[in-house]
Structure 1
Amino acid sequence: MEDILRSIYQERASHPNTIGVVAVEKRHKALAATDTFDVILLIIVKENMDPVFVKHYSYQDKKAAMHIVTEKQIHEWLLTGNNKKIFDWLYNGKIVFDRNEKIAELKHELKEFPFMGRKIKIGIEFAKLIRRYSDGKMLFDNLNYLDAYNYVVHSLHHLARLAVIENGFHPEVTVWHQVKQIEPEIYKLYEELICSEETIEKRLELLFLASEFLIHKRTKIGSQHLVEVMEGADYWAFSDLMSHPELLPYSVDLGILVEYLIEKKILEVVNVETKGQSIYHRYYKVAEKLS
């Protein structure tokens, strides 16, 4: 690491707000991991006005990027998978400053991938899968085949990520390479969708049938986290589910997941009378057979 960059991160490391600093150097076969920069300096802080602050530097004939990110934002990315590069940075980066070994603990947790973390990520990924599959099916039924194709590609991607997580691994940028080794059945579906010489209508028809079976097979594990949260009360208003801290990462996909699980008889609707005639508050609970 050049002395000029060392002076930048050492200044940050002296701040009591700084948890740790990770340096990620560009690797020839992984240019995308650093967005073509020669070095990424990931500085993790307790608090900041902005959850993410980025600054670029030039030195000699090279370029570097400093990313100052709050600890909360890092954990959110790791949970939702919305920033895949963060996994590469933490896996392959070099710890150059670590207050109270917080970064070392984070890297160890990433490699171990504890079961609770897996369960939440499976739930979030399953909700995204149901959203993409349902929207794609609706488009297909309305003869919007090209739009349906786009949704099916995304639903297969979520199915692939789900399979990787189930097997105890974090989905990487090269998720299809992982899936080819772990679940060749899903990989084959993806190949058939993009390589088949059948008409797009026929390809989609076959994919929806196959996907429905694979989704059904994963419904129990995909809903496990949500069901466990909901078992904490007799029944729930949807607004209470939306505001529950453990369910916040499900975001806009929570509603369609709840409706899907009602259809599959994993959840039930509870109607409670209102002051208005023939209108009820709609609440939700875990189905009796699961309680």
Structure 2
Amino acid sequence: MKHSKKTPRQKAARAASYLFMALCVVVALFPIIWVVLSSFKTNKEILSNGLSLPSSFGFAGYAQALKIAPILKFFGNSLIIAVISTALNVFILAMAGYVFAKKRFRFKNTLYAILSLAMVIPTTALLSPVYTVITKLGLYDTKAALILVYTALSMPISLMILRSAFAAIPTELEEAAYIDGAGFFRTFWQVMMPCAKGGLASAAVLAFLEGWNEFTFALLLTSSADTRTLPLSLSYFTSQFSFNYTAMFAAITIAVLPSIVVFAIFQEQVCSSLTAGSVKG
């Protein structure tokens, strides 16, 4: 078969699409690259020409950052809180997503709609009630408080992703497990969970990023270095009359790298979950 030649209009449209994609990549990567390069500059270089390359590549800014703020302590707190809240979020909402996708009960759609509406509630509207509940429970300035809050914050999006993931699994697999004598929990754990690994990975990545980058509740519910998280370390690099930009950009680089690494590792699972249910077989 002869390949038809593309018309000038088609070539122009294709070139425009590539140009648009390249522009999106530049817009997405430029802030990250700029922050990383700025972490190797001096304050003078940053203030004189923010777009120039650093005169030399050294780790003085990172050494200053570690000396000014308890970054390693905050890093450990963030890691503990984000990992535990992600595990709780995914495990609890996986069971909820499975029930909403595969079981029938009264008011199922109504209950799902109410839980999904939590996604549109602004964070500022939650500050006062969450603070009141946490203080009455005696959990103020504890890691447990942030773990509970972060587990709940990711609930709507995790429920939506996991419900779709379980809905895409053929019902015959579940029925075969019940015929073989498996109970609800065994069917859920040994049959349904492995089949929904793409959705589980997507929900876990989004929940981890939410817990890792969250600032408002970490500031509201903590007051000591033993419980504060990495985003709060940036306040150490400002004073009344000056900013230590080099150390601050180094701290920002340390803070964002784990998010980039986690997404890069699980990128394939995240992308596969987005197409779950589009092809059956």
TM-score (norm 1): 0.23
Larger fraction in helix: 2
**Higher RCO (CA < 8 A, seq sep 6+):** 2
Structure with the largest fraction of strand: 1
Greater radius of gyration (CA): 2
TM-score normalised to the size of structure 2?
Answer: 0.24
